[in-house]
A and B are shown apart, each in its own frame.
Chain A
Amino acid sequence: MINIILCVKVVLSSIVYKNNNIVDKYMLNPFDLYALEQVLEIKRTTECKITCLCMGKEEIKEALVQCKAMGADDIILLSDKKFAGADTYATVYVLAQALKNLDYDIVVCGKQAVDGETGQVPYGLAARLNCICMGAISEIEVLEKNRVIVTQQKDNIKRKLACKLPIVMTYDDCTLKSPTINLMALKRAEKYQVTILKAQDLNLDTDKVGQQGSKTEVYSSTKPEYRKAEPILLQDEMEEMISKIYDILRIRKG
């Protein structure tokens, strides 16, 4: 049995779907949803166990149930007030400590989270777990107990690589399509108890978690102001606008 740990993040739906009618407050990060779909595809042909590992508030539990309904075997939520306000450094520490208590052959991550957009966590995790991180993977071709063969697509170079396990890897894509979930599967999944682990359940140094464990802080945020003056505003008169845009573009051309 091959143990796949999929690290997922739950994000605010409003970040992903602006202006749309949002039913649920939280959703799975689209990059992680894509990764989940990919590993579920592997599960069809390879005997493996998929565990989703997530850090966040307890109220995101419902969004995680979706992973179970889609076919993940287990879900672990790392949730503690002490974990709040973590930067990537502190996040990596908590995830890595949790991983050290689990059996894993391969750790799979989405490329990045839509809210933070740093893409740093997978590489940090690999460094903490003392293995390498393979980024930009488009496909897992072969998954065995000690070895994986993957296709990596970087720029216009495609490489087929064989790696000794364990490794951390990230997929290179995301999906905005909501997965079709079988209603019965969803009902069954709702009965499933997500495992919640707190700081005391993990073997960790609480000085290294959350805001306290972070190396960075946001100390100010400002609205970007790029414009120097009030804009020239035109409306209603289509011909006038077209002629104006022509003037602007032509001056530049000439």
Chain B
Amino acid sequence: MIRILVVTHPYAGNDGNINFELIRKAYDLSKGNSADVKILMMEKFSDELIQLYKRYGGKNFLIYEAEQELEYICYAELIAQVCRKYKPNLILYPGTELGKAIAATIATILHAALIADCIDIQPLNEDKYSFSRTAMNDSIIAKIRCVKDCIQMCTVKRNVFEAKEVCSIGEENIEFVLSDKAIQDNQVPEILETTENIKTVRDCQIENARIIFGIGRGVLKDDIKKVEDLARIFHAEIACTRIIVEEQIMDKSRQIGQSGKMVSPDIYVAFGISGASQHMVGLKNAKKIIAINRDKDAMICKYADYVFIADTHKFIACMYSDFVGD
């Protein structure tokens, strides 16, 4: 029997969506081969949370009651113990910083195959899966498989799989797990000081935005303010490509793509964006893409529903004077 383990992000709070997405994906994967799916929770027992996870297809729960958030290494040791006992064929991790740290550690400890930032998982044969991710700066999606007889693991990007609710799933099974070895607390760093930065700008929510204006390298620095003003008028969020973040023009939280966020707007307006695959993968679920670009051979034109061939600077100026005023 195929066994799937879903590692949930502990104390996810408002970011809990990634856990729903993983649980639902595991549920879908289990339908084809009636795999046994276990959901690992590493936080204080909460019936409320279990009921919530059940709505997305969770049925069998393994709970390690940690009273507080732990260092990644503690979670990794615990999961390694769970794996030795439970012997999963496939493990899904959230693509959060913590999830990635845990997964990379387990891959080494348990000699497992690990694929980072997956955008798709499909059954390949009886017990092997195919994992997709964008590859080396090319405009390609690579399909990756495990070639050794070992555990297959992947981290999954947020917002890739849809967190749809399932029909009633029946009574849940809950099993409490204990760590059978004292977690190496001598390795854990000593916290000398914690400060919370109060962010002056409100946290941006591009993941849930219905309209997004994307800014790429083709937009002049002085025009960004204008695009922001336009975005307000159309109730759009502002997002950007990686280069804009690297040049410190915008915050990382607004970056779309392989190393940024996945979004699913109804409309994405791409201002001066060339359309590298790393960026486009973040737009896989965008319903309509409008590209404004000087170059009709730009990659973005291959993805867009509307292609406006124009000088981005002039286009923004024109739009600005029409809708904002001079």
Contact = CB atoms under 8 A, between A and B. Distances in A.
Contacts of B310: 235, 238, 241
Nearest to B233: A249
B44 interface: no
Contacts of A44: none
Nearest to A120: B104
A133 B72 CA distance: 9
B135 A119 contact: no
A191 interface: no
Contact of A160 (B146, B191, B302): B191
Contact of A226 (B196, B280, B314): B280
Contacts of A226: 280, 283-284, 286, 289, 303
Interface string B256-277: 0011000000110100001011
Contact of B115 (A128, A135, A174, A216): A216
Q: Is the interface of A mostly helix, strand, loop or mixed?
A: mixed
Contact of B136 (A15, A89, A244, A246): A15
Contacts of B117: 117-118
A222 B130 CA distance: 14
Given A124-B107, A127-B109, A158-B195, A216 B144 contact: yes
A126 B139 contact: no
Contacts of A233: 296, 306-307, 309
Nearest to A245: B290
Interface string B145-156: 111101000000
B142 A221 contact: yes
B108 A92 contact: yes
Contacts of A162: 189-190, 192
B324 interface: no
A232 B109 contact: no
Contact of A224 (B104, B115, B140, B318): B140
Nearest to A96: B108
A158 to B, nearest CB: 5
Interface string B197-235: 111000000000011000000000000000000000011
Nearest to A136: B97
B161 interface: no
B305 A156 contact: no
Interface residue tally on A, bucketed by range: 35 or more
A176 B243 CA distance: 9
B277 A218 contact: no
B147 A214 contact: yes
B18 interface: no
Nearest to A148: B189
A216 B145 contact: yes
Nearest to A157: B196
A15 B137 contact: yes
B318 A242 contact: yes
B177 to A, nearest CB: 21
Given A241-B315, A249-B211, A157 B114 contact: no
Nearest to B266: A252
A120 B315 contact: no
B247 interface: yes
Interface in A201-254: 214-224, 226-227, 229, 231-236, 238-239, 241-242, 244-246, 248-249, 252-253
Task: Kindly list the 9 A-B residue pairs having the minimum CB-CB distance in the complex, ordered from nearest.
Answer: A123-B104, A215-B113, A235-B309, A127-B108, A118-B116, A120-B104, A160-B193, A161-B189, A221-B140
Interface of B: 71-73, 76, 97, 100-101, 103-105, 107-109, 111-117, 130, 134-148, 150, 186-199, 210-211, 234-236, 246-247, 258-259, 266-267, 269, 274, 276-278, 280-281, 283-284, 286, 288-292, 296, 301-310, 314-315, 318-319, 322-323
Given A89-B114, A134-B189, A227-B303, 13 more contacts: A88-B116, A123-B105, A127-B104, A135-B101, A176-B246, A215-B114, A218-B144, A221-B135, A222-B141, A222-B143, A224-B134, A231-B305, A248-B290
